[in-house]
Structure 1
Amino acid sequence: MSKEKINGQLFSYSGPAFHYLNEEERHFFAKAPADFRVSLIGCGMIGMEHMRVATRVGRTSIHGVFDTNERSIKVAREEFAKVTDEDFIVYDSLEAACNDPEIDGIMICTPNYTHLDILKVAIKSGKPIFMEKPMATKLEDAYEITKMAKEYDSVLQIGLQYRYKSIYAEAIHEVLERRAVGDVKMINIMEHRIPFLDKVNQWNKFSKYSGGTLVEKCCHYFDLLNLFAQSRPVRVHATGSQSTNFIGFEFKGEKSDILDSAFVTVEYENGVRAGFNLCMFAPMFHEEVVICGDEGRVKAAEMEDFGESERLRTEMEVFCGQYRPSKTSKPSYPKLIEDSGHNGATWFEHIAFADQMAGKKTNSATVEEGFWSIVVGSAAEESVNTGKIIEINEFLQSKGIDL
């Protein structure tokens, strides 16, 4: 990937049209050296996405990888060769991957249930760390990570990157910066999508490895609810079931037990009420957020339905009544960025990690924000399992957590 800043903007190009030029002959498409080198721990689907995006963004390069699965390493080697001609280094241990003197940071992209144990090794390096969401599968482990982070002098960024998706980035701007809706009163997010994809050893089909659907998948949305509410949750009620997906599915003698649909309501300290609607057996991807305040309403959506006809892919409506101008728009990033992963969110997540390593302040998810996203998800899972409304203070105390 080649790049040059034009009028303060980053212009990117990754096609073959200028391959006739030697590197020393390039100016407009001259390849700039990466600012930082990181090790990648975990080479599954999301690890491969981070490898591709890091290389395309160009701020950070993948210096080496570590994974205990041989096939994952094989595929990673093949994918690495597609995006860069640098040497592919494979570490022989987790300790080697974390303590390589050639690296500036560490990216943890392993299955959810391994995060705490890996972090305990990585944090000894003192290097900036990026760790994928959810940061833990159990609330007790998430709380332990928050205590570790408070004593950590370097960066610890959590991979809650949906705040960088174009529809949410624009909604955040309108609601929290422009205050287009006035004081937020109600929030609703909906995700309708296809079932969970395959993972190594199918770990995402089992709650004990993933934390449950409302932790594993939905922590992104609970992070957004918390962000828009600008407050802490006090009460959670949820209903849900495994009604359609993976019924009867077994892997190595274990039966899948994850939810595929749910409704979640959250009440906040400041009186904001929020709702979340999940369906994971829809023949599409559809996300939608609606925020209502005392002076207006914002609605933003993102769609992909695999159909033949051309349809609107994103939309956003800001309706402010008599208070200020209203508008409609189609939020998006350039195609190169949108196609890189999670509709461009991963791209800006990598920029934020590089900025943090450079000592700049960012709006990336903190460990504390990661913790509270898991609080809501864990309380929602508990509510589904017990049929009870979960009082957050009581729930935390039952886990030995006293904030």
Structure 2
Amino acid sequence: MTLLALGINHRTATIEVREQVAFTPAQLEAALDELRVLPEVREAAVLSTCNRTELYCVTEGDGEGAILEWLGRFHGLEVEDLSRCAYHYLDDEAARHLMRVAVGLDSMVLGEPQILGQLKEAYQVARRTRGMGGELECLFQQTFAVAKRVRTETDIGRNPVSVAYAAVSLASRIFDDFSRSRALLIGAGETIELVARHLHEAGVRRLTVANRTRERAEQLAGPLGGEAITLDEIPAALIDADIVIASTAAPLPILGKGMVERALKRRRHRPVFMVDIAVPRDIEPEVGELADVFLYTVDDLEEVIEENRRHRQVAADQAESLIEHGVGRWQHERRLRSGGELIRDVRARGEALRDLSRDQALARLARGEDPEAVIRRLAHQLTNRLLHRPTVALREAATDERQELLEAAAALLLDDSSDTSR
């Protein structure tokens, strides 16, 4: 069995590729069902965010090739195109990668906390679809334990900085006084909630939240004194919006070039700052061609994010040390689990051979054969059956001069301290 982590992220793929490979919440369970029935896959979990799509699987055989082909089929992409931007890790490296992802060391914003919540959601979906077995369960639990230690024992989570914070920070470079700006937020998920909070703390008091359901928008906007609208009301809200930040799970863009162009005319071409955090994108790329629009995507936030990365590097080094400890714990538990499985298999085989010999002996006794002869035959037959496979393996090891196997067999089978009187 091999632990495999396979995926793409913001470092290996453009936003155009990432949005094609992303799984929507509605697709996840069906995708896991398909993934789990591949002959090479024993366990599976899928992590899909705006910056990464990663598959964590326990595999047999050529698991990487089979999973990459499946990923291409599911999204209608050429395997060759995926291969050019995909990465993979095996066993210890896969465990280390997952732990780095969980604590935000592999994120665009170093140490960002949202990824851990997204990983926990991926874990729950995998459990619901029976994708979790002993291997992945142990790995994810150890990962969550490491993430907790990193958050409590290092400063990587102090003053949390996220893509949402980076978007607001970038806006602050354009607007001198947030109190005179009106913001339109599209979506009502965790990222937009963070954006709303950061904008409010920065001084924005005129806030509008647009969402598919007005109720959810009201839950977010209400505590901040904002206004809630539905997606259908966005064209009118755009006319007064100086800042537009979008992050939904919609499969198609919500803001088109024509809609924005009409709003700009009503605004008399006062400039608008826009950030599209969503993958797939919520704002058509052509909107950025308009003269009075400053449009940014998650990939454009790198400068702000790099500044944050420098401040958190010391804490990141401490986190790496805790991750190494976590990988060591996971390796230890994996060895124990593997040893337990081997012990169960060995005992099951021994008990099967015992039962076979016992049933044959009882049958002979029932036919009236001499009890002493039956017992002698039972002992001889059971000894031969139990020692046949080890004897053949030892002969092959001696022929191949595999001294380490011969020494291990001697330690296992010829322990002088064993009590042969029982």
Note whether the superposition's TM-score is higher than 0.5.
Answer: no
Using the size of structure 1 for normalisation, the TM-score is 0.34
Higher strand content, 1 or 2:
1
Using the size of structure 2 for normalisation, the TM-score is 0.33
Q: Which entry has the higher C-alpha Rg, 1 or 2? A: 2
Query: Higher relative contact order at CA 8 Å, sep ≥6: structure 1 or structure 2?
Result: 1
Higher helix content, 1 or 2:
2
